[in-house]
Structure 1
Amino acid sequence: MLTERQIQILKSENEYLLIQIEDLNQAIAQKEQELETLRQTAKQAAELQSRIDINLLEFEQMQRSIGQRQQKAAGDSIMIEELEKELLDTMKTLQKYSSLADENESLKASLQGSEEELDMASGLYKKVTDLKKEISLLKSEIEIKGLEIENLKEDIKELKIDKPRNGE
C-alpha cells in the first residue's frame, strides 16, 4: 500500500505531466497552424508559377509573330537588326525571370521546413509580383515593336508603289 506522502508525490507528478501534455498539445496546434499557412503560401506560389508559365507561352507566341513580320519587312535590315537586338535582350530578361521561377519552385519544396523558409517564400512572392509587372511592360514593348514593324511594312509598300512610277 502507498503512503500518504507517496500518493501526494504521484498526484503532483501527474499534475505536472498533465501540464506538459497541455503544453505539447498547444505546440502541436501551433505547428499545425504554421503548416497550414505554409501550405497556403505554397498554393499561392504554384498559382503564380502557373501565371508566369502562361505569360511565357504568350510571349513565345508573340516572338513567333514578330519573326514572321520581320521576314516580310526584309527591305529595312537596319531596323530589323535593332529589333532583333532588343528581342535578344528581352529573352535574356525572361531567362532571368525563368531562373527566378525555378528558384520559386525550389523554395516551395523547402517551405514546410521552418519559419525562416516561410520568410523566404514571402520575399519570393514579391519577386513574382514584380516579374508580372515587368512582363506586362515587356508585352507593351513588344506591341510597340509590332506597330513599328507594321509601319515599316507600309513604308516598304509605299516605296514599291512609288518605284514603278519613277521608272515611267
Structure 2
Amino acid sequence: MTNEQLQKLVEDISNALFHLPFQHLATFNKKLRSTGGRYLLLSHNIDINPKYLEELGVDELVGIIKHELCHYHLHLQGKGYNHGDPDFKQLLKRVDAPRYCSVLKSAEQKRKASYHIYECKDCKQIYKRKKRVNTEKFVCGKCRGKLQEVTRK
C-alpha cells in the first residue's frame, strides 16, 4: 500500500464513520517502533507504522486509523482527545476502534529472545537479564561470588 492509498483510506474511513472530512496528511512512517500510529497535535497529520499492515493485515490497519481519527476529530473540536478522557472513550466505542493496537509478532519474538545469561562462578546460580551487567561491580545475590556471562540469547 502506498501513501496515496493510505491517504484515500483514511479519508474514506473519516467520512463513513465520523461524517467529517480528514483534511490533513496521513503517511506511513517506518521510524515508529512501539506504536501502530500517532496523531501529531501541531500539524494534525497522522503517521502509521507500516509493519502493522505487513504483519497483521488490513483489519488491524483500519483499527489503528479509526483510533488515530478519534484523536484527530476530538482535538479539532476542542474536546478531550487523550486516552483517559471520557469523550475519547465514548468515541472509540461508537466507531468500534481499539483502545490499544495489537503486539507485533516480530517485536514479541525480539522481546522474548534478547537477554543476557550470567552464572555465578562459585554456586552456579543463573541470572537472566535484559540489560548487560557490569560483572566487576555486581556479584551473586546468593553467595556474593563473581559473575561471568555465559551466553547472550
Shorter-normalised TM-score: what interval? Answer: under 0.3
Higher strand proportion (structure 1 or 2): 2
Instruction: Identify the structure with bigger relative contact order (alpha carbons < 8 Å, sequence gap 6+).
Output: 1
With normalisation by structure 2, the TM-score equals: 0.26
With normalisation by structure 1, the TM-score equals: 0.24
Structure with greater Cα Rg: 1
Higher helix proportion (structure 1 or 2): 1
